[in-house]
Chains A and B, each alone.
Chain A
Amino acid sequence: MSFLRTARRHLHRNPLRATKCREFPSSSKNASTIADARNGTSSVNPDEIAHFSRLSQLWWDERGEFGLLHKMNPVRMEFVRQKVLEMQREDGFEAVNEARPLEGLDVLDVGCGGGLLCESLTRLGGNTLGIDASGSNIAIASLHAAADPALSSQSPQKRSGTLSYQHTSAEDLLATRGPKSFDVVCSMEVIEHVDNPRTFLSNCAQLVKPGGHLFLSTIARTPLSYFLTIFAAEQALRLVTPGTHTWSKYINPEEMTDFFLQSDSIPATSEDAARQVSSRPWISRLYGGIPSRTEAEVRGMIYLPWKGEWTLVPRGAPGASVWAEACNYVFWVRRPFE
């Protein structure tokens, strides 16, 4: 559990002062100013934020720095779509909405960057809030979304959900919105950049409504991932700016699963305590090391250079945990109903 060690080491570093708030103009949600982050619980790393602010101009250059991320987006969205629809069917929904599976759902994207994922979530019907600790990312994301009539709630031909952006962090949002606020919480390619992944995970998890979904994507800490993401992508091929990733901050799928197996990972709210709702773990048990597909799921994502595309490794592919989930993967976990 080296990520916990790393987390503790960085625990008392300077947290980001997230005070500026910028919302997408057409949003009806009120833009409240965020109070100073509470010391000691921040997972935001100032160096990382400065790094991405420099890159934020390039967020929407599909042939540039974030080209691989643009290509990854459809694959992550495919997983979100599959999982949400699967659970809606599991819950006995009569008619699932194939066109807009997220319709009517409150969706949060933590670490939204330039808004790549947020825009897609909104198009699939989600009432989406994108938050980022970098103000320039929020500016870029808002600017980009403003060009797209499908993302504006004032559009006469409204077919998507609403989209707003806010310059804040997960812990500040938790403080202002309170826990259990979102049906779907996503944080893609973010957790490997934060200093305190345990706190970060806990914050994200607390924001999920009972029965809601938490989606995370990150990179496993394996020799393969060192070779592909640090040596090949950053050093040899320069597909990604050197310094984008820190191998020691990568998190393995089992560590993710472990976190949600422990009942004390996510603190119970005072309200819950008063109602005597027991805080039970989100994953009840493992079956041969794998959680039940209705509780959590790990799926590998592999880049195929000869196709120029990412692909989502099919569920239950033979030996997937060895080869497919050894680098990029998506993780889904569902908060139990109360």
Chain B
Amino acid sequence: MLSANKHALRLARHARNVGHTSSRAASTVVPQETDVVIVGGGPAGLALASALSSQPILRNTLKVSLVEASDLDKVRGWAPPSGTYSNRVSSITNASQAFLGEIGAWAHVEEGRTCSMEEIQVWDGLSDARVTFSMQDVLASHLPGMESLPQMARLTENLNLQRALLRHLDSTSAVELFDKVKVQSIQREEREGGGWPLVHLSDGRVLRARLLVGADGFNSPVRSYAGIQSYGWAYDTTAIVATMFHHPRTSFQTPNTTAYQRFLPTGPIAFLPLSPTASSLVWSTKPHLAKALLSSEPGVLASMINAAFRLPEVSLRYLHNLIVDSANTGSPLDAQQLREEISWRERSHSIDSRSAYSLAADTTGVPPVDADALPPLVTDIQPGSAASFPLRFNHADEYIGDGAGARTVLVGDAAHTIHPLAGQGLNMGLGDVEALFHCIQKAVHTGGDIGSRTALLPYARERYFENHIIMAACDKLHKLYSFTSEPIVWARSVGVEVLNELDSVKAALMLNAGSQSSRRGPSRTQLGASFAADGVESLARTMSGVRTLTEGVGNMVGAGVQSILKGLSNSQRP
């Protein structure tokens, strides 16, 4: 009896399997034929959909669907009260902005909420060695078509960009948007000679994809379906983000268009301008400290931000411990206590209370001489804007699926997750989208199958090493700056001072950041490469003594070496 039951069960299972795989009639859902299925409605996914809908030929040739688990209406209807800002802000490079302009999406960005970034000041938390990147480093006249963009980058709330992309998509209505719908599973269709991916959605629909695009973030289901491995690690670091309010700069100072970043041994703290009186914070620090800071009252966070840009590292370490310890004992420090503590430490470091380095500095009248070297003093944190997330480094082994995972491609965070210290995550994603868009365009032009490896390979070729170089540079920079031992601090400070002299290296670094289209590519890539080549030469002359630094700087100069690497990578990958 038992065995008969088992047998029947097996038969039933077999019948179900047969019904599932061999005949469409047996399964209730007929798959919807789709040329491009984009999983993920973040900036990268929306940008790809936007790009594909911007071209009449692609619009008429390709059926594009985008699947997003959350409610896109929330992004569409995003209307923050004026003067308040979302805490997720990205610096959109000129290259990325040019691409977004080309596909017609930038016109939908509310420019009043964005802020031009005209200078970046970066300094070492231990030695105070400082690098200044400004637009003088990259003469606008060197970049064809970019004369109208005097800024280095444009700080933009991610939501502002996402809303613009959605508005652009709504205006063309060429892309089918499935929101509030999850990807339940992705299966490979069973078919002789290789099946296409079948995307099963939570609303019961099934999409049959000629090309399945994973824009689905770090835990990418598309990446798992494609069987693409990735390598990476979690940094023992958490990023705190917040919107900060401050007094406007006085008329004696440059306007609030400078980004500041101080590399502390616990991680970099960055100040990104949004408006004359508001800026965005990205503070990477140790997880326990982040937790203590976020649980204390807002005034404490504001004072700690001010202190983190100003006080010597030894005092910062003391304050960190004080905050963590008092949080642990259940009697957290209040803002008044912290201010007193800070002013005592300022006195012991003999910081003049009229100097810009003092938290008590007067923000009216004639500013102290060193005022431009520091961000404005934070007065308040926008309520509800302080948040945190863990930092990771992750890079997929491949960008395009193969064999059983064929017809898949990864873009954005699904392909790479990066330390935010250079603010390049979003730009790398947009660079991916631009390159993939051009590949698809080219394939459609010649009647190719956009899901084929042949059509997608140039995308992986163009992006993989480019992204790898940026990621490696950021990772190295993170590690280089977390050392506190004397020789490394010395080497690093000398290195940064040397770097400051090498305008060409800085220019190469900045040009490299963000998307480089293959169309506009040659001029820009060549420009970057020649800058970097100059840089290597000057480095060789200037820095013969600073060997320790070459690892870190070498990777940054890698911007130029990347063209060589590209060649190598291509010859190695048949």
B145 at the interface (CB under 8 A from A): no
Report yes or no: B192 in contact with A143, Cβ–Cβ below 8 A.
Answer: yes
From B56-64, B230-238, B241-249, B504-512, the one touching the partner chain is: B56-64
B574 at the interface (CB under 8 A from A): yes
B571 at the interface (CB under 8 A from A): yes
From A65-73, A212-220, A226-234, A271-279, the one touching the partner chain is: A65-73
Could you tell me which residues of chain A, from 64 to 83, have a CB within 8 Å of some CB in chain B?
A: 67, 70-71, 73-74, 77-78, 81
- For A150, the chain B residues whose CB sits under 8 A away are 35, 210
Q: With A and B bound together, what is the CA distance between A70 and B208 in angstroms?
A: 24
- For A67, the chain B residues whose CB sits under 8 A away are 574
Residue in B61, B402, B461 whose CB lies within 8 Å of A308: B461
Report yes or no: B448 in contact with A308, Cβ–Cβ below 8 A.
Answer: no
A106 at the interface (CB under 8 A from B): no
What is the chain B residue whose CB lies nearest that of A69?
A: B454
Residue in A77, A143, A308 whose CB lies within 8 Å of B446: A77
Report yes or no: A308 in contact with B574, Cβ–Cβ below 8 A.
Answer: yes
Residue in B33, B60, B453 whose CB lies within 8 Å of A62: B453
Q: How many A-B residue contacts, CB cutoff 8 Å?
A: 81
Report yes or no: B193 in contact with A63, Cβ–Cβ below 8 A.
Answer: no
Report yes or no: A306 in contact with B194, Cβ–Cβ below 8 A.
Answer: no
Given known A74-B448, A149-B33, A157-B63, contact A306–B567 (CB-CB < 8 A) = yes
Question: Interface digits, B20-56 against A, CB 8 Å rule (1 contact, 0 not)?
Answer: 0000000000000101000000000000000000001
Give the total of A residues in contact with B, Cβ under 8 Å: 34
Report yes or no: B193 in contact with A306, Cβ–Cβ below 8 A.
Answer: no
B442 at the interface (CB under 8 A from A): yes
Could you tell me which residues of chain A, from 117 to 149, have a CB within 8 Å of some CB in chain B?
A: 119-124, 140, 143-144, 147-149
Residue in B210, B448, B570, B574 whose CB lies within 8 Å of A120: B448
Q: With A and B bound together, what is the CA distance between A159 and B458 in angstroms?
A: 25
Q: With A and B bound together, what is the CA distance between A124 and B56 in angstroms?
A: 15
Report yes or no: B454 in contact with A73, Cβ–Cβ below 8 A.
Answer: yes
- For B453, the chain A residues whose CB sits under 8 A away are 62-63, 70
Question: Interface digits, B548-572 against A, CB 8 Å rule (1 contact, 0 not)?
Answer: 0000000000000000000100110
Report yes or no: B574 in contact with A77, Cβ–Cβ below 8 A.
Answer: no
- For B194, the chain A residues whose CB sits under 8 A away are 60, 147
Could you tell me which residues of chain B, from 153 to 199, have a CB within 8 Å of some CB in chain A?
A: 191-196
Report yes or no: B452 in contact with A62, Cβ–Cβ below 8 A.
Answer: yes
B449 at the interface (CB under 8 A from A): yes
CB distance from B212 to the nearest CB of A (A): 15
CB distance from A43 to the nearest CB of B (A): 27
- For B570, the chain A residues whose CB sits under 8 A away are 305-308
Report yes or no: A71 in contact with B573, Cβ–Cβ below 8 A.
Answer: no
A95 at the interface (CB under 8 A from B): no
A99 at the interface (CB under 8 A from B): yes
Report yes or no: B449 in contact with A119, Cβ–Cβ below 8 A.
Answer: yes
Question: Interface digits, B318-355 against A, CB 8 Å rule (1 contact, 0 not)?
Answer: 00000000000000000000000000000000000000
B443 at the interface (CB under 8 A from A): yes
- For A144, the chain B residues whose CB sits under 8 A away are 193
B445 at the interface (CB under 8 A from A): yes
What is the chain B residue whose CB lies nearest that of A304?
A: B570
A255 at the interface (CB under 8 A from B): no
B447 at the interface (CB under 8 A from A): yes
A98 at the interface (CB under 8 A from B): yes
- For A306, the chain B residues whose CB sits under 8 A away are 567, 570-571
CB distance from B108 to the nearest CB of A (A): 26
Residue in B446, B452, B574 whose CB lies within 8 Å of A78: B446
Report yes or no: B454 in contact with A62, Cβ–Cβ below 8 A.
Answer: yes
What is the chain B residue whose CB lies nearest that of A308?
A: B570
A155 at the interface (CB under 8 A from B): yes
Given known A147-B195, A306-B571, contact A157–B447 (CB-CB < 8 A) = no
CB distance from B401 to the nearest CB of A (A): 12
Q: With A and B bound together, what is the CA distance between A99 and B445 in angstroms?
A: 7
Beyond known contacts A73-B448, A119-B449, A306-B570: 9 more, CB 8 A cutoff: A60-B193, A62-B452, A62-B453, A70-B452, A73-B454, A99-B60, A147-B193, A148-B210, A157-B63
> Which B residues are within 8 Å of any A CB, using their own CB?
33, 35, 56-57, 60-61, 63, 191-196, 208, 210, 402, 442-449, 452-455, 457-458, 461, 567, 570-571, 573-574
For this complex, 8 residue pairs linking A to B, each with C-beta atoms less than 8 Å apart, are A70-B453, A73-B446, A74-B446, A78-B445, A78-B446, A147-B195, A147-B196, A308-B574
Closest 10 CB pairs of A and B: A120-B447, A77-B446, A123-B447, A124-B447, A149-B33, A62-B453, A74-B446, A99-B57, A70-B454, A306-B567
